[in-house]
Structure 1
Amino acid sequence: MSFKKLKFNAKKAAAVAITSFAVLSASNALADKAHDHEPFRCAPGETYYMNVMLSGVEYWFPVYEMFKEAAKSMGCETSYTGTPEYDVNKQLSTFEQVLAKKPAGILVHPMNPDPFIEPINRAAKMGIPSVTFAADSPNSDRVSFITSDNYEEGKYAADAVAEDMGGKGEYAVLENPGQDNHDRRVSAFVARMEEKWPDMKLVSRAVSNSDVTKAYNAVMTMAQAHPKLGAVFMPEATSALGAAQAAKELGGNIRVMNADVNGKILDMIKAGEVFGAVNPNQGMQGYMGFMLLYMAAHPELIDPMNDYKSSGKNPMAVPFVDNGFAIVTKDNASDFYWDKYLAKRGTKGINE
């Protein structure tokens, strides 16, 4: 299969460049005695939290690894929190538990946008900034949002599948309605097919909610109703495990394309059981996520020429940073294994 190389557009690259410039500018102030403490150096016990849903999902681990790395370089402490269940109310409960500890800041992946508006806003009033990553709560008072471009991910996935099918055939999608980044990936995939590949026909869609069994059953049902089904796309890796197993049992003619990877998905890609995956740059997401959060927690480092004082807004305002993504195929799958990454770094992982 053929894949196009990923390119940043100028606008997104500029966002990253502006953020990097702010980091460097603040670092140059280390000798400035006017500050109460050294910029980019945490006070004893200063702790930053990362909060996620489905805390056992491997996707988060490299994000947290680089979150810790950035924090360690500045003498800061970190903690990983979340819920093992796909339940927004349970994630909200863990977010509240974090707030009770009065952290310096929270890097949060909100399962759904709207339920997080009030707690993020309340945290801001408490002087605790939030930075969202991978999924957003855009109407909240979060200071920044870092992610890969979910629309581009969906487009690249659609092009890869359609090209391999010769631009003609039937496809389906699995989805997790209400999760912002997943919705964007699916809508972009379908829109790209309609726009560029008019002979690709969407014949079915089903809700899997990151559940292996639901995904397996859904693909089995889809294939029975549509014997010519040639591909199925899903916005995350857990559903792909079930979809790939179903596709294998059905003869291996259904291309399974997903977003995100884990060890099992990588094994399946190398074995030809999963067609391919789009995978965000998790390490950059965690590292830059921490840098954004630290600056948000220390707005005294930044004095922009705008209305931040009169408006009461945090002067560290970078609405969006694109951390980039990769296309994972048989050719490069070996570079994405979590255990190999940890061995290379000489660390123990999420619980270290």
Structure 2
Amino acid sequence: MKTFTAALLAGAIAVAGMGMTTAAAKAEETSPFRCKEGETYAMNVMVSGVEYWFPVYEMFKQAAHQMGCKTVYTGTPDYDVTKQLATFEQVLAKQPAGVLLHPMNPDPFIEPIDRAAEMGIPVVTFAADSPNSKRVAYVTSDNFREGATAADTLAKAMGGKGDYAILENPGQDNHDRRVSSFIRQMEEKYPEMKLVARTATNQDPTRAYNAVLTMAQAHPGLGAVFMPEASSALGAAQAANELGGKIKVMSVDVNAKVLDMIKAGQMFGAINPNQGVQGYMGFMMLFLAAHPDLIDPMNDYKRSGFNPFTLPVIDNGFSIVTPENAQDFYWDAYLKRRGTKGIDE
């Protein structure tokens, strides 16, 4: 009798569980926070092989999959705004539900972003912005705070005095902000730190390598070099090590080679934005902008005809990468832990 009662009770619980599962599944299917069949969101970048984008897309993809949506990774392998604009046009032609965009330069993207808005395709920018366009949101780490933090970190390591140089990529919005805030922080807070040289390397390691050799020859007391991205850091760090390792090289962003050099003490360090949050929040902003009926704010959006979902800036934060924590930022280990195919799915 006890056995029969136990079996009957177990069966009742199982049936109830099935009912709850079915109810949950139906609720999920009818949830307003679910994509329609085939609803697809795109991410578009320049220099598409740069490792920085991969964790961004990983979390963009995860957020989408959690809501039953599809994603595609697009862009150009070149550091060329004309080529990126062409890939952006190709994305628009496929009528995605929304686009997460890293615009290489702000102004050339104003017209195509505005046209996308007119087509009903919301655009969210990340890491770099096109502020005068009709993009609905911008997800980024605080580029000004990144530059200032890098300046504080380097200046303190140098005792607040010495010569430093800048490698830069003029015209790329987020890079310009990092460089300008770095220099301003040095000038305002560390008067004994002196800017002795600055060169445009445009993310080219060879240019960076040659630039640091030239700078060091012209300024024997050069103690530090800062750059707003990772590619130039490779060439700069190589040159610094060939010169005896006395020049502290610091970048924003990392890749596996940069991490290897930081761990080995061949590069001083880096600032790294929280890329995963960029991707995850970028998708959430796109979804809400693509489904404006979910939002009914008390403003004039109906009269004026603008998307009720607009969020000017979201700060995704950043980390300071040192030899002590560099191991935590390797893409291959992250991808293995997550068990996905990265940008290939």
Q: Same fold (TM over 0.5)?
A: yes
Alignment of 1:184-263 (within 5 A): 184-263=177-256
Quote the residue 1:142 is aligned against.
135
Of the three residues 137, 161, 182, the one matched with 2:154 is 161
Equivalent position of 2:288 in the other structure? 295
The CA deviation at 1:246 is: 0.5
Q: 1:332 aligns with which of 312, 325, 341?
A: 325
- C-alpha distance in 2 between matches for 1:141 and 1:348: 33
Gap runs ≥5 in structure 2: 1-25
Cα distance in 2 for partners of 1:307, 1:278 equals 41
1:290 alignment partner, SS class: helix
1:107 equivalenced with 2:100 (yes/no): yes
Aligned residue for 2:275?
A: 282
Task: Give the drift of 1:274.
Answer: 1.0
- What is the match of residue 73 of structure 2? 80
State the SS of the aligned residue for 1:350: helix
Q: Aligned equivalents of 2:27 and 2:72: distance in 1?
A: 30
Aligned partners of 1:314 and 1:86: how far apart in 2?
32
1-side partners of 2:33 and 2:261: how far apart? 42
Q: How far does residue 31 in structure 1 lie from its aligned partner after superposition?
A: 6.2
Cα distance in 1 for partners of 2:273, 2:175 equals: 13
Deviation of residue 37 (structure 1)?
5.9
Q: Deviations over 1:252-279 (max 9, x none)?
A: 0100000001100000000111101000
Pairing partner for 2:42 from 44, 49, 67: 49
Between the aligned partners of 1:31 and 1:340, the Cα distance in structure 2 is: 36
Distance 2:276 2:27 in 1: 30
Aligned length: 320
* Other-structure match for 2:18: none
Structure 1 CA distance for aligned equivalents of residues 320 and 56 of structure 2: 18
Q: How far apart are residue 348 of structure 1 and its match?
A: 2.0
User: CA–CA distance in 1 between the matches of 2:319 and 2:292?
Assistant: 33
| Whole-angstrom distance in 2 between the partners of 1:68 and 1:348 | 11
Give the corresponding residue for 2:122.
Answer: 129
* RMSD (Å) for aligned C-alpha atoms: 1.3
Aligned sequence identity (%): 74
The 2-side partners of 1:202 and 1:37 are apart by 60
- Which is helix-richer, 1 or 2? 2
